[in-house]
Structures are given as C-alpha cells and as structure tokens.
A and B are shown apart, each in its own frame.
Chain A
Amino acid sequence: MLNPMQKDALTEIINVYIGKAASMLSEMVNQRVILSVPEVELIAFTQDGQPSKQLPPIFSSGHIISSSIRFGQTLKGKAFLIFPADQAKLLVNVCLGEEPVIQESEELVAFIDTDFDVLKEISNVILNAIIGELSNFMDTRVHYSLPDIELIYVSESEGTILLKENTYLLLLHTTFLLSETPVNGFILIALSMNSVSWLLEKIDALLEA
C-alpha cells in the first residue's frame, strides 16, 4: 500500500504531530509524557470488510476502549484512539496521580464515568493534534466533532473492527510513556479513498521536492 519512501515520510510527519500532542498532554497532567509512533501502516478494507493484511494483536478478543473523532470537509474520516481496557485504566490512574496498578484480570477492570471523562480529554488532545497537523500538511481546513467514548467487546469470531468497503486505515502503532509507566495503545485514522489518494499525492510531492 505504501512504498518504503512514503512510509518513512509519513512516519516522520506523524511523529512531529504526536510530539506536539505529548507536550500538551504533559502540561495538562504535569508529568513527563513521551509519545512515539515507530511504525505507520496503510491498510485497505476489501468489499467483505476484511483487512488487506493482518491487524495487530490489539484486535484480539477482549474489552477495548475506543475514543473517536469524526472530521470532515475535503479531508474526511474518523480518527480512533484505542486501548485494551486494562491499559486505559492504567493511563487514567497515572494521569490522576493514582497508583499505576495493572488490574489482575479483565473482569476486574472497573471504570467509573469520571475515568471516561479523563480518557475523552486525553483522546481529544491527541486526536485533535494529529488531525490538525494532518490538515495543515494537506493545506486544508477540517471540521471536528467531540470524542465519542465506547467500551467495546471484541469477540473471538469478530476479531476485527468492521469498516465499510473502500475505507483505508492509517494504523499508527503508538507507545505512551507517562512518568516511566509504559501504556500501549493504537491510533487509527480511517480515511475515504479520495482522502488517501490526496494524502499520497502530497507525500509524493514532498518527496520529489
């Protein structure tokens, strides 16, 4: 989907955006925050809703917390910040300055609505930064929605998040480091076919220049 040059360029661009999000988050929670995206992948969804390549283990069965922001106008899509439930709780605890305890089993991960508020805000900061910088890169303006938080159970059989056909997914493998506590999550940006071709054109133009 992406040639090595495009992949490198996109990874580099994304890391600049995510660095800005990390510094905002760091100011907010008053802790050292490091965010990095070591790898970017572009995945296409075929007509039957199946991905063109194997999705990472975060899509294995279990509870996940997904926060998503829709954005629109010429650059159109939906951005998701996704954590396994235990990692989301860990992130909330660290942000609130509570003990960073990993829950022993998934059944014990108990969220209260104020935890969702914290996750909503964190995802708002990170996704806004990425969409914002992406739109700057594309030289366009976008409209943003507020984040929608969902606790989703991914079943064994399902295994993947179903997306409409002709959707492309930018998958950003993301690592968070909050005051030495590592938290694993993913950022997904679902883009329409038009938006993807336009993004690739922009990247190619950047590479040629």
Chain B
Amino acid sequence: MQELLILAIDRVNLGIIILDQDLNIVLWNNWLVRWTGHSTETMLGRHLPAVYPRFASKIYQDILNNALVNGQRRFCSGALHKTFIPPAKEALPNVRQNLLVEPLYYEDKTYLLIQIMDMTEHYTQVKGLKNIIKEMELEYEQAKISEVIYLYQALHDPLTGLPNRNLFNERVNSILPLAKRNGKMCAVMFLDLDGFKEINDKFGHEAGDLMLKSVAKRLKGLLRSSDTLARLGGDEFLLLFPDINSPGDVVSIATKIKNDFTQAYSVLGKDIHITASMGISLYPEDGNNARTLIRKADLAMYSVKRQGKNGFLFWSDLNNNSDPVADAE
C-alpha cells in the first residue's frame, strides 16, 4: 500500500514537497524531478530556503511559519507571485505557478505540505484572450468613430462644414410637427449669391472657395442658435427659421442679411463685393413639407434674380394664381 501511494504521488500532475519542522525536504515527487532536473536523492534532507532562496524571504518565511505554528492553510496565486520553483529549462518564459501550503500532523510531529501547480499555459491563454478582447474593443471603438465620421460626412458640406440638403430636409421635417403643435410659423429661405461665377472666373477657384467659407461664417453669425444654415452646393444656401411669430420677423432677418452683404469680403488680400438674392416660403401657408417649401423659396429667389437681384421676396408676393409645385405633383 505504501508503495502504491508513492507511485500515485509520483504520477500526479503537480509538484509535491513535504518539509519537516526545520524546512528540510522529506518528499520531492517525480513532477518536481522532471520540472527542476534535481533528483529526489539529491534533494532529500536539504533545506528548502537554501536551495530556493525565494523561500528565505520574509513573506514566505511568514507563510511557512504560520502553517507550522498556527496551523494556517495558505493559497498563493501565480498572478501575484509568478514562480516559486523555477524550471530546469531557463528558456521557458513567463512561468506562473499557484502554490498551496498547509500543515500535516503525523506521529506528534508537524510537517508542511506544499503543492505547486503549473499555471503557465493557462496564463498564456488568459493573456491571449485579454489581448483579443482588447483588440476587439479597439476595433469596436474605431468602427463607432468611423460611423460617426461617415454619418457626419453624409450630412454635411465638406467645404463649409454646414449641413447639406439631406440634413436640412431632415431638420425641416422634424421641426414642422412641433410648429404645428405649438401653433407657430416657420420660414425657409433660399439664398443664391449674385455674380459668384464672375468672381470664380476673375480670382480663381481658390478665392471662390474662400469666399463661400466666409459667406457661411458671416451668415451663421447673423442667425439664432435655433436657426439652420445649410449649403446646397455651388453658391446656393438654405436657411430655416423655426418658431417665428409673423412674416415681419423674417423681413427683419432678410434685411439684416442684405445689409451685411454691403460690407466687402476680404479674400486673398483683395476686397470683393457681392450681393445675394433671397426667396422665402412660409409654413403653414405655403406648404407642409420640406420639398414644397424649398421649391417655393427657390421660385421666389428666381423672381428676385429676374427683378434685378440683391433683395428678397416671399412666395406669397409673387401673385401666382397657380401653384407650380402642387401642379407638378
């Protein structure tokens, strides 16, 4: 039976050391022989802290002592302690071991049972898993950022950073139900610069682009935070004024915009004068969706162009007997 037990202890897949009260080795199993390359014969009777100085440090002396004197059992994790018994092959990197220390009482004597479990492979897997999780989190973050950028690009004009037609339509369509509920008016303004093509031809496209950016910036400065300014492309801009009380409010802002254009734009060291033609449609009287309101504001703007530019007109001022938008639909 005794031999059978020794055979079993030599077969188990963990290191087993038994120490006497003086910390001398009385059992050194076969796992440790394979792991360290030290035979049982050479290890028996030797002082463990002398062979492995780590066990001579205060922490491990305390652990061994607490087990011997106070009967405490103690678990030490590879995560915090890394290695207790180093392998024979120094090439083995990142060795991690768990360790269990407990007292054994036999024939009026106290012994220490030390069990060492090699956790290296497990920790390597955990590390790999952690890296995969980190990479996936990173990819997810990047995908989220890309999505935000893509969404921004899909809804904004790249030159001025203003909302584009799609976002403008969305804003109009989301604001109209609110206006309806609150019994408020809204206005849509179509603004087209007068003679912008000539500026482009005379000063070049770079100057033209800078000019459009400046117009966008100055227009924005004239608006309330609740208003929306969008660029349709070329020299066309759209403006949305939610929550207005009367057409007079829109007249004020249109006049303010017209007056602002009397000041020259400084582009590439040159002072350039430009004006704008503006057409205005009103909700609810001129239409109840973005498409109709924009179309009517556009027609009013063309009317201003025909009448000599540099001004504004309401769709309702055009004296139209027929509704071209409604007719077309």
Contact = CB atoms under 8 A, between A and B. Distances in A.
Interface stretch (B122-130, B220-228, B251-259): B122-130
A114 B72 contact: no
A121 to B, nearest CB: 5
Contact of B71 (A29, A125, A142, A147): A142
A27 B61 CA distance: 13
B170 to A, nearest CB: 31
A203 interface: no
Interface stretch (B39-47, B75-83, B275-283, B307-315): B75-83
B100 interface: yes
B74 to A, nearest CB: 6
Contacts of A177: none
A18 B4 CA distance: 45
Contacts of A96: 79-80
A176 interface: no
B62 interface: yes
A159 B79 CA distance: 33
B171 interface: no
Contacts of B102: 146
A120 B80 contact: no
A91 to B, nearest CB: 12
B67 to A, nearest CB: 9
Nearest to A119: B77
A51 B71 CA distance: 32
A124 B123 CA distance: 21
- Give the size category of A's interface with B: 20 to 34
Interface string A84-97: 00000000000110
A120 B75 contact: yes
Q: Is the interface of B mostly helix, strand, loop or mixed?
A: helix
A146 B102 CA distance: 9
B288 interface: no
Given A132-B72, A142-B71, A29 B80 contact: yes
A156 to B, nearest CB: 31
Contacts of A141: 70-71
B75 A132 contact: no
A144 interface: yes
Given A121-B80, A144-B73, A114 B122 contact: yes
Given A96-B79, A114-B79, A114-B122, A27 B58 contact: yes
B62 A95 contact: no
B123 A114 contact: yes
A28 interface: yes
- Which of A113, A121, A143, A146 has the most C-beta atoms of chain B within 10 angstroms of its own C-beta? A121
B59 A24 contact: yes
Interface in A108-165: 112-115, 117-118, 120-121, 124-125, 128, 132, 135, 141-147
B98 interface: yes
Contacts of A142: 71
Contacts of B119: 114
Interface of B: 58-59, 62, 66, 70-81, 98, 100, 102, 119, 122-123, 126, 129-130
Interface of A: 24, 27-29, 95-96, 112-115, 117-118, 120-121, 124-125, 128, 132, 135, 141-147
Given A120-B75, A128-B73, A141-B70, 19 more contacts: A24-B62, A95-B80, A96-B79, A112-B126, A112-B130, A113-B126, A114-B78, A114-B126, A117-B75, A117-B79, A118-B79, A118-B80, A121-B75, A121-B76, A124-B74, A125-B74, A128-B66, A144-B72, A146-B100
16 contacts: A24-B59, A95-B80, A96-B79, A114-B77, A115-B79, A117-B75, A121-B76, A121-B77, A124-B74, A124-B75, A128-B74, A132-B66, A132-B72, A135-B70, A143-B71, A147-B75
